[in-house]
């Protein structure tokens, strides 16, 4: 009697198993963990806040120059749309798929940086040739697009540093140096500094020997000093930084107006849209010095809140780095955090007079298509690294 019962049970189990629909395999094994979700929302808050500030800071000058107060805001919206598309694509694509292409893309980016020195292609503004006119697309700033490419290729090179042959290491360190030299000779000392610092931090995170790190840091400092000594306007900026009030109507004018804007904001600020310094007192108030307008309108409380946002962003990024089981993924997270948060702190240091004036935009805030697109691309890479942080063998 027991045999027929067992046979019937086995048949029923077989039928149930074969008739049940098979579970569809997940296309992406990396889940949206809490770190990835939080970084996504923080990025959204950052971008929305930046758009609101750009509207306020750019409206008067856009109305005066073009007759359309929304001119710069509408152009920024287009680039934000392109950046959002890039962000959504990057958070879905495994980082291991980018590493084989990172070298070629990085070389292309460095080539575009050097193309800014070619007459007819390079576009000069404010004593610098940092922009490129390829005729078939809008004018771009190649050094901004180079940033996420440096992160990807740097993660691949430094993440497998001790597995690469010596000639490979030397070649890529030299290529990185050529890229930084191309940015430095535009001249763009601020962007060169943040790119060099990011690569240095990634190399330090990868455990590269201290002798190599300090040797490259020394060479970088020597190149920066040589650039300052050879460029008169950079020397004037240094002197104006040391005592801006001594030349309040000359080289120190921009910093003085920035300090007046920040100081007049007080504790709570004058209110959104009520900045006085943006009314043609503070130069380039919707690009490099947009934080001055923000501080005037939202005061000390608003400024500290934004610094709190940066602190939270970097804290989550650091947690992602600590959770990453693959070194190249960890280095991607490191590079993106240094670029986004480090450059933000550099910009804030400049507008508050803590650092010499350099042409470095505030990420996801300042007007500029190349800057906002590159910033959202790095945010996308960071979120993707967060999604892959708990998995090994992904790179």
Q: What is the DSSP string of 18-84?
A: HHSPPPPPPS------HHHHHHHHHHHHHHHHHHHHHHHHHHHHHHHHHS-TTHHHHHHHHHHHHHH
Torsion of CA 84, 85, 88, 90, to 10 degrees: -110
Confidence bin at 257 (pLDDT 50/70/90):
very high
Q: What is the pLDDT of residue 225?
A: 86
Range scoring the smallest mean pLDDT among 8-17, 108-117, 129-138: 8-17
**Structural tokens at position 60:** 């008067």
- Is the predicted pLDDT of residue 386 greater than 70, yes or no? yes
Q: Domain for residue 270, yes or no?
A: yes
Distance (Å) of CA 224 to CA 97, 231, 353, 355: 35, 11, 20, 15
Residue 125 has pLDDT above 90, yes or no: no
Share of the chain above pLDDT 70, in %: 91
pLDDT digit string, tens, across residues 6-49: 344 443 343 333 333 444 444 677 889 999 999 999 999 999 99
Asked if the structure places residue 53 within a domain, the reply is no
- pLDDT at residue 6 in the model: 37
pLDDT for 20 equals: 38
Q: Is residue 140 part of a domain?
A: yes
Peptide bond into 187 cis (omega under 30): yes
Q: Judge whether 160 lies within some domain.
A: yes
How many angstroms separate the CA atoms of 304 and 274, rounded? 19
Q: How many helices (H) and strands (E) does the chain have?
A: 14, 2
Is 5 domain-assigned? Answer: no
The whole-number pLDDT of residue 143 equals 94
Q: Judge whether 58 lies within some domain.
A: no
Q: Report CA Rg, the chain.
A: 25
Q: What is the mean pLDDT of residues 311-318?
A: 97
Q: How far apart are CA 284 and CA 254, in angstroms?
A: 9
In a domain, 324, yes or no: yes
Residue 391 pLDDT exceeds 90: no
Is residue 360 classed exposed, middle or buried when 0-12, 13-18 and 19+ CB atoms within 10 A define those classes? buried
Structural domain boundaries enclosing 192: 101-360
Domain count along the chain: 1
- Please tell me the predicted confidence (pLDDT) of residue 357: 81
Say if 84 falls within a structural domain.
Answer: no
The rounded percent of the chain whose pLDDT value lies above 90 is: 71
Check residue 107 and give its pLDDT. 97
How confident is the model over 121-135, as a mean pLDDT?
80
Is residue 154 over pLDDT 60? yes
């Amino acid at each position: 009697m027991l045999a027929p019962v067992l046979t019937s049970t086995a048949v029923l189990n077989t039928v149930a198993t074969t008739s049940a629909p098979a579970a569809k395999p997940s296309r992406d094994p990396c889940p949206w963990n809490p770190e990835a979700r939080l970084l996504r929302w923080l990025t959204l808050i950052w971008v929305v806040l930046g758009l609101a500030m750009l509207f306020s800071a750019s409206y008067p000058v856009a109305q005066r120059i073009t007759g359309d107060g929304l001119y710069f805001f509408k152009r920024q919206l287009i680039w934000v749309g392109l950046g959002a598309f890039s962000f959504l694509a990057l958070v879905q694509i495994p980082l291991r798929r980018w590493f084989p292409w990172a070298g070629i893309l990085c070389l292309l980016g460095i080539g575009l940086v050097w193309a800014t020195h070619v007459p007819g292609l390079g576009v000069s503004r404010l004593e610098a040739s940092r922009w490129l006119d390829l005729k078939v697309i809008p004018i771009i700033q190649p050094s901004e697009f180079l940033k996420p490419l440096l992160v990807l290729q740097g993660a691949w090179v430094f993440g497998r540093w001790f597995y690469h042959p010596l000639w490979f290491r030397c070649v890529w360190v030299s290529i990185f140096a050529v890229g930084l030299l191309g940015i430095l000779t535009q001249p763009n000392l601020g962007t060169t500094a943040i790119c060099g610092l990011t690569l240095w931090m990634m190399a330090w995170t990868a455990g590269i020997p201290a002798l190599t790190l300090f040797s490259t840091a020394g060479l970088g400092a020597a190149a920066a000093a040589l650039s300052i000594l050879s460029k008169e306007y950079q020397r004037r900026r240094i002197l104006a930084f040391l005592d801006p009030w001594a030349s309040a109507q000359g080289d120190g004018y921009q910093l003085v107006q920035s300090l007046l804007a920040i100081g007049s904001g007080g504790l709570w600020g004058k209110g959104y849209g009520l900045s006085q310094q943006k009314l043609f007192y503070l130069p380039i108030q919707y690009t490099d010095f947009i934080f001055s307008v923000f501080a005037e309108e939202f005061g000390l409380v608003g400024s500290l809140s934004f610094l709190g946002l940066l602190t939270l962003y970097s804290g989550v990024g650091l947690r992602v780095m600590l959770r990453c089981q693959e070194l190249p993924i960890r280095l991607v997270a490191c590079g993106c955090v240094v670029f986004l948060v480090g450059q933000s702190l550099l910009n804030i240091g400049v507008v508050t007079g803590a650092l010499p004036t350099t042409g470095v935009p505030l990420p996801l805030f300042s007007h500029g298509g190349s800057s906002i697109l590159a910033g959202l691309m790095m945010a996308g890479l960071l979120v993707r690294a967060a999604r892959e942080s708990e998995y090994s063998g992904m790179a």
